[in-house]
């Protein structure tokens, strides 16, 4: 299924915002020691994430494309994948280092939810860059 670049960009933004929202709600509930009623709100960004992920990354084929072995790519696809990976991991490194610095300064421990979301973010970022920049996929 093909999507316009505008729709893909909106999908990327919604997916990433919902990912950040999941982490922030979890961290807020952990810090404030909220009850299960507040934690139930966590379901909203999870559902939004799943729906936007499927619509933006799965149905467009971006997820499969960015995870395809090099042997199955032509020269143009290799160049595109290489460029997106280079940008993605540069962005990822800066974000992770800034996060680790802020956690060290505030002496806040990092938990498994943050780590899991960073792993997911690392996998989403190359496909997000392609979705954001390429007019035709």
pLDDT digits (tens, 9 = 90+) for 88-124: 999 999 999 999 999 999 998 998 999 999 999 999 9
Confidence (pLDDT) at 134: 86
Range of the domain at 123: 5-133
DSSP string, 70-114: GGG--HHHHHHHHHHHHHHHHHHHHHHHHHHHHHHHHTPPP-HHH
Confidence (pLDDT) at 137: 65
Angle, vertex CA 92, rays to CA 9 and CA 26, nearest 5: 80
Domain total for the chain? 1
Whole-prediction pTM value?
Answer: 0.87
pLDDT digits (tens, 9 = 90+) for 53-97: 999 999 999 999 998 998 999 999 999 999 999 999 999 999 999
């Amino acid at each position: 299924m093909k999507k316009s670049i505008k729709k893909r960009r909106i999908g990327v933004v919604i997916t990433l915002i919902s990912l950040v929202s999941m982490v922030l709600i979890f961290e807020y509930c952990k810090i404030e020691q909220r009850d299960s009623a507040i934690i139930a709100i966590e379901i909203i960004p999870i559902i939004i994430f799943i729906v936007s992920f499927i619509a933006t990354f799965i149905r467009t084929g971006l997820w499969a494309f960015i995870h395809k072995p090099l042997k199955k790519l032509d020269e143009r696809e290799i160049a595109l994948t290489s460029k997106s990976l280079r940008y993605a991991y540069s962005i990822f490194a800066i974000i992770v280092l800034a996060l680790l610095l802020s956690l060290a300064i505030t002496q806040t421990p990092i938990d498994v939810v943050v780590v899991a979301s960073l792993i997911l973010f690392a996998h989403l970022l190359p496909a997000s860059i392609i979705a954001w920049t390429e007019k035709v996929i």
